[in-house]
Amino acid sequence: MSKVKTAAPRKAGKFRRQWPLWVMIIPGMLYLLINNYGPMIGLFIAFKKIDYSKGIWGSDWVGLDNFEYLFKTDAAFTMTRNTILYNLVFIVLGTILGVAVGIMLSELRKKIEVKFFQTVILLPYLLSWVICAYIGYAFLSKETGLINNFLEMLGMSAVDWYNDPGKWPFILTFVHLWKGIGYSSIIYMASIIGIDTSLYESAMVDGARKWQQIRYITLPLLKPTVIMLTIMSIGRMFYSDFGLFYQMPMNSGAVFSTTQTIDTYVYRALMQQSDIAMSSAAGFYQSIVGFILVLTANAVVRKLSPENAMF
């Protein structure tokens, strides 16, 4: 400490005043160190050919060999395209709907209504993907599906959902929003609740309509949250929700062209071999791309509105 003091007395003075803040972050940072940074050392596995008799440390280095299967395949284009497009759609629609529902929930006046709607909208989030897939199957099954039963009742012909790739972008987007909207709307709702109510009151005194209040008070104040969540989603651009893309289509091969993402490809590729080096390589690749995208996005944000940049 004394060294710092002589070098930069002002900084050290600040530190002396701020030491409680530094103490506060200790447990959290310690946890990140153990839970996240420690295991990151393990990323080196991605560059090894695992031989258990030598142990993971002693296995041979193979450079980038473990990454090859992600690129040297015809499926590379499809899975990358699908992953990116789905993420883009999810980010855009998820944000719009999340904000909209968040606002609507915060506008409800009766307590009982808030309780009811919030609980109900959150329910799908609580189900595991396998169960969601069963429910999806209940609707989409060719033999006994509710939708096909309904179509037949109307005298229309049944649709073979699990063999029709054209339908899946819509189904998956719907299911994603259905399952996630409760979650994201709560984030926005919490932000809205935190907004100083006096702002609305003075707006009302000025005769602002509801829509104007939302347009000029709520939305601008939600902007930082939206930007933050978007940047975080951009970091996961090359990831996909495995359960959504693998379980929901019931692993149906016929719809791979619209359901295959990087994660499902990796899963199927390694099912037989179960190679931890290759799966770790996939994770590394997804992270690196995400990292670059985030840095870019953050730089753009820093340019446009510095106060909203993440770091």
Partner 1 sequence: MSNVLGRGEKIFQVIIHIILLLLAVCAIAPIWILVTGSITSEQELILDGYSFFPKSLSLDAYIYLFRKASDILRAYGITLFITIVGTAGSLIITPMLAYPLSRKDFSGKTVIAFLVFFTMLFNGGIVPSYIMWTQIFHLKNTIWSLILPSLLMNGFNVILMKNYFAQNIPVEIIEACKIDGAGEFRIFFKMILPLSLPIMATVGLFVGIAYWNDWTNGLYYVTDTELFSLQNLLNRILQDVQFLSSSSEISAAGGSMEMPSVGIRMAISVVGILPIMVLYPFFQKYFVKGIAIGAVKG
Partner 2 sequence: MKKSRVLAALLTASMSVTLLAGCGGNSGESGESSDGVESIVFATPLVKTVDMERIEKALNEILEPKINVHVDIEGISMANYNNQIGLMQSGGEQLDVMGYIGTYSSWLSKNQMLAMNEYLDEYGADAKEVIGEEFLKSTTKDGSVYALPSLNGKAASMTIVIRQDLIDELSLPVDQLKQASSFEEYCENLDLITEMYAQIHEAHPELACIVPYSSNTLMFTDTMPFADRMNDDYGVLMPDDYETVANVYETEEFETLVGYAYDWNQNGYVLEDATTTQETGNTYLMNGRAASFFIKGEEGQEEQIETATGVDVSAIKILDPFITTTDVNSMGFAISATSEHPEAAMKFLNEMYTNPDVVNLLDWGIEGEDYQVMGDGTVDFPEGVDAQTTQYGLNMDYFFGNQFIAYIWGEGRDTTLMQRLEENNKTAQFSPAMGFSYDNSSVSNEIAAVSNVGAEYLPGLRCGTLNPDTEIDKFNEALYSAGLQNIIDEKQSQYDEWRAEQ
- Is residue 24 near partner 1 by the rule CB under 8 A? yes
Here's the x/- map for partner 2, 5-44, by CB under 8 A: it reads as ---------------x--xx-xx--xx--x----------
Cα–Cα dist 18/3, whole Å: 18
161: CB partners within 8 A, 6+ apart: 140, 142, 145, 147, 167, 171
The partner in contact with residue 256, picked from partner 1, partner 2, none with C-beta cut-offs of 5 to 8 angstroms by kind, is partner 2
Helices (H), the chain: 2-7, 9-32, 38-40, 55-58, 68-71, 75-107, 111-122, 129-140, 146-153, 168-194, 197-205, 210-213, 219-235, 242, 256-259, 262-270, 276-304
User: Least distance to partner 1 from the beta carbon of 45, Å?
Assistant: 6
Nearer to partner 1, 78 or 310 (CB): 310
203 backbone dihedrals φ, ψ, rounded to 5°: -65, -40
Q: Give residues 125-154 in contact with partner 2 (rule: CB under 8 A).
A: 134, 137, 141-144
The partner in contact with residue 273, picked from partner 2, partner 1, none with C-beta cut-offs of 5 to 8 angstroms by kind, is partner 2
- Give the number of other Cβ atoms within 10 Å of residue 297's Cβ: 20
- Is residue 131 near partner 1 by the rule CB under 8 A? yes
Q: Which tokens hold the place of 256?
A: 């791979």
User: Least distance to partner 1 from the beta carbon of 124, Å?
Assistant: 5
- Give the number of other Cβ atoms within 10 Å of residue 264's Cβ: 22
Nearer to partner 1, 72 or 111 (CB): 111
Report in angstroms the alpha-carbon separations of 114 from 25, 119, 264, 297.
35, 8, 38, 35
Cα–Cα dist 74/79, whole Å: 9
The partner in contact with residue 69, picked from partner 1, partner 2, none with C-beta cut-offs of 5 to 8 angstroms by kind, is partner 2
Q: Where are the beta strands (DSSP E) in 256-306?
A: none
Here's the x/- map for partner 2, 46-65, by CB under 8 A: it reads as ---xxxxxxxx--------x
- Residue span binding partner 1 (CB under 8 A) among the ranges 70-78, 79-87, 159-167, 178-186: 178-186
> What region does 55 belong to: left with phi over 0, alpha with psi -120 to 50, or beta?
left
- Is residue 119 near partner 1 by the rule CB under 8 A? yes
The partner in contact with residue 265, picked from partner 1, partner 2, none with C-beta cut-offs of 5 to 8 angstroms by kind, is partner 2
- Is residue 32 near partner 1 by the rule CB under 8 A? yes
Residues at the interface with partner 2 (CB under 8 A): 20, 23-24, 26-27, 30-31, 34, 49-56, 65, 68-69, 72-75, 134, 137, 141-144, 162-163, 250-254, 256, 260, 265, 268-276, 278
